[in-house]
Amino acid sequence: MDNHDPEIVEIIRHVAVLHDAADEDLQTIAGMSIRRAVEDGGYFFLQGDKAEYLYILASGRAKLCMISADGQQVNLRTLIPNQLFGALGAIQPGAVYPACAQALQDSTALAIASADFRNLVTKRPHLSFGLMELMTGYIQEMQERYRELATERVEQRVARALLRLAAQSGQKIERGGITLPFSRQDLAEMTGTTLYTVSRYLSRWEKKGMITTGRELITLIEPHALVRVADDLAK
Amino acid sequence: MDNHDPEIVEIIRHVAVLHDAADEDLQTIAGMSIRRAVEDGGYFFLQGDKAEYLYILASGRAKLCMISADGQQVNLRTLIPNQLFGALGAIQPGAVYPACAQALQDSTALAIASADFRNLVTKRPHLSFGLMELMTGYIQEMQERYRELATERVEQRVARALLRLAAQSGQKIERGGITLPFSRQDLAEMTGTTLYTVSRYLSRWEKKGMITTGRELITLIEPHALVRVADDLAK
DNA sequence: GTTTTTGTTTGCGCCAGCGCAAAGAAACAA
DNA sequence: TTGTTTCTTTGCGCTGGCGCAAACAAAAAC
């Protein structure tokens, strides 16, 4: 392991959780990290595995998902590079991952032993504020999505999911539109519905010119029209 | 304010988040806390208020809930004494509460200024581990409930809600049964359904002898039968 | 090129759950 | 006591969304 690979330090520097970490700490973290590649469809970890590592996505795309007893998948979060995930074990020694992390493309991540990271946080307590910010942000997002799932209709939730993905992708909202590389099944798992129902709404929206679609591809043409659907002002 | 009221120290000592705090820290926290009483139906804080205080429930019962744009309520969590809530502002200065905290009975809580608490955590960094454990636990519970809402039928979710409340209430699972003081509307807000549907399932279960019901009262007679419903083994 | 695999669309029938409405039942107020 | 409020029950009709099935389409494999 190359402890001071400058590229690794660069990745770590752009992790939001570590925004106020000292350069020295970034170096230390880089020294603890191991690069791990996972191909499209593979897993960084499975639900129930011992949470011995936390990860920072370096390249590619991945998702955090849960699988229910009867095999249905629920998508909790889509991960993009520089995001930290699987940090649970860094807080609670002996914990198991409550979800699995699956690559949506060929991806690489930095793996850091949970115990090592926990030790570092103990020595550098200000790092815990970054972690707590990450967690409170995540809690708020989960609460919001829980509320949506409990009170809104499928149509609104799918529209909202598209807008959320668009915002997260960081692409400009331009006349050209925002292209999202997700299948109907992906959207269904994000919104708690079925691929059939997602397909029906996408078809309807495409006929209205709000979006265009392709195989594992959705392009938002008129995002503001989707906002109206999400807020239930239209219809 | 009586800074060293021994009763207040006792309450704080039993807060799970502070399980490994030094006695000195407990005294400090007690010194920062203000007792606040809220009557049945009143609010400790509203969704959108500036998160200037965090709270520890001292007596009574309360709930954390969100209200959607069209006025529907979603119940996120039921609070029992010695639980900490509204801690968001202690992490993110300037944050607003993402939910409201409403008393379900006449209740009292200790209020601690978020800024004061944040200062204390900065000085006593090991306290942040307790906070992080609280947050990871809450995240896991929210993820689990999100999965349930996305994949399970109403009947299962209501059964699960009853079992969860029973476990949380701390009452023994005895032949006498466990009595829960919740209305049909409460259950509906916890499970993302309507009071009508809740009422129908409760009636059905009462006819089968699994529970008995009253006005704002549900008594579990055969919890294991509910477990079977929750796991969808019955039916 | 051809075949296979994987993803998408849409018709059709069905049903879980919603929500109104109206009647009971328990608590509370005067 | 009598009325008022609040919570609960249940019949009824309706519909949003599910899920099978079958056809189509686009990659990928050979």
E strand residue ranges, B80-139: 84-85, 100-103, 107-113
Please answer whether residues A26 and A52 qualify as being in contact, where contact means their C-beta atoms are separated by less than 8 angstroms. no
E strand residue ranges, chain B: 33-38, 43-45, 53-59, 62-67, 73-79, 84-85, 100-103, 107-113, 178-180, 211-214, 217-220
Q: How confident is the model at residue A173 (pLDDT cuts 50, 70, 90)?
A: low
Residue A235: predicted pLDDT:
44
Query: How many Cα atoms within 13 Å fall on the side-chain side of residue B224?
Result: 2
Per-residue pLDDT tens over the stretch B95-152 = 999 999 999 999 999 999 999 999 999 999 889 999 999 999 999 999 999 999 999 9
Residue B95 with chain A: CB contacts under 8 Å: 136
Residue A149: predicted pLDDT:
97
Q: Provide the pairing of β-strand B107-113 with A84-85.
A: unpaired
- Residue A208: which residues within 8 A CB-CB, separation 6 or more? A225
Q: Provide the pairing of β-strand B107-113 with B178-180.
A: unpaired
Return the residue in A121, A143, A231 with the most chain B beta carbons within 10 A, the one to mutate for interface testing. Answer: A143
Q: How confident is the model at residue A172 (pLDDT cuts 50, 70, 90)?
A: low
Alpha carbon of B143: minimum distance to chain A alpha carbons (Å): 7
> Of B155, B152, B138, whose CA–CA distance to B78 is shortest?
B138
Round to whole Å and give the CA distance between B114 and B184: 35
With CB atoms and an 8 Å threshold, state whether B131 touches A132. Answer: yes
Nearest to A74 among B140, B146, B232 (CB): B146
Burial class (CB in 10 A: 0-12, 13-18, 19+), B233: exposed
Report percent pLDDT > 90 for chain B.
Answer: 82
Share the mean pLDDT of chain B: 92
In chain B, which residue's Cα lies nearest the Cα of A139?
A: B139
Strand C proximal to B214 Cβ, under 7 A: yes
Residue A163: predicted pLDDT:
96
Q: How confident is the model at residue B35 (pLDDT cuts 50, 70, 90)?
A: very high
Round to whole Å and give the CA distance between B193 and B149: 10
Residue B173: predicted pLDDT:
59
Task: Give the residue whose CA sits closest to D6 at C1'.
Answer: B215
Residue A1: predicted pLDDT:
45
Strand C proximal to A202 Cβ, under 7 A: yes
Strands in B217-220's sheet, in edge-to-edge order, are B178-180, B217-220, B211-214
Three-class DSSP labels, chain A: CCCCCHHHHHHHHCCHHHCCCCHHHHHHHHHHEEEEEECCCCEEECCCCECCEEEEEEECCEEEEEECCCCCEEEEEEECCCCEECCHHHHCCCCECCCEEEECCCEEEEEEEHHHHHHHHHHCCCHHHHHHHHHHHHHHHHHHHHHHHHHCCHHHHHHHHHHHHHHHHCCCCCCCCEEECCCHHHHHHHHCCCHHHHHHHHHHHHHCCCEEEECCEEEECCHHHHHHHHCCCCC
Look up residue B26 and give its amino acid.
L
Residue B88 with chain A: CB contacts under 8 Å: 136, 140
Please answer whether residues B61 and B105 qualify as being in contact, where contact means their C-beta atoms are separated by less than 8 angstroms. yes
With CB atoms and an 8 Å threshold, state whether A152 touches B91. Answer: no
Please answer whether residues B29 and B120 qualify as being in contact, where contact means their C-beta atoms are separated by less than 8 angstroms. yes
Round to whole Å and give the CA distance between A202 and A221: 12
B201 CA to C26 C1' in angstroms comes to 21
The number of angstroms, rounded, from the C-alpha of A61 to the middle of its chain's C-alpha atoms is 8
Residue whose tokens read 């959108």: B48
Own/partner pairs for B129-132, CB < 8 Å, 24+ apart? B129/A91, B129/A128, B129/B20, B130/B16, B130/B17, B130/B18, B130/B19, B130/B20, B130/B21, B131/A132, B131/B17, B131/B87, B131/B90, B131/B91, B132/A91, B132/A128, B132/A131, B132/A132, B132/A135
Strand C proximal to A200 Cβ, under 7 A: yes
> Of A68, A91, A45, whose CA–CA distance to A189 is shortest?
A68
**Which domains are seen in chain A, by residue range?**
6-148 (2.60.120.10), 152-230 (1.10.10.10)
In chain A, which residue's Cα lies nearest the Cα of B75?
A: A147
Residue A170: predicted pLDDT:
66
Taking the stretch 90-119 of protein chain A, residues with Cβ within 7 Å of any atom in nucleic acid chain C are none
Give mean pLDDT, residues B32-59: 95
Q: Is pLDDT at B80 greater than 90 in this prediction?
A: yes
pTM listed for this prediction: 0.94
Alpha carbon of B88: minimum distance to chain A alpha carbons (Å): 7
Q: How many helices (H) and strands (E) does chain B have?
A: 9, 11
- Residue A185: which residues within 8 A CB-CB, separation 6 or more? A195
Alpha carbon of A5: minimum distance to chain B alpha carbons (Å): 31
DSSP percent split of chain B into helix, strand, coil, nearest 5 = 45, 25, 30
Task: Give the residue whose CA sits closest to C20 at C1'.
Answer: B196
In chain A, which residue's Cα lies nearest the Cα of B139?
A: A139
Give mean pLDDT, residues B60-83: 92
B55 CA to D4 C1' in angstroms comes to 37
Round to whole Å and give the CA distance between B13 and B110: 13
Nearest to A147 among B74, B126, B151 (CB): B74
Give mean pLDDT, residues B225-234: 87
Residue A29: predicted pLDDT:
93
In chain B, which residue's Cα lies nearest the Cα of A93?
A: B133
Please answer whether residues A109 and A80 qualify as being in contact, where contact means their C-beta atoms are separated by less than 8 angstroms. no
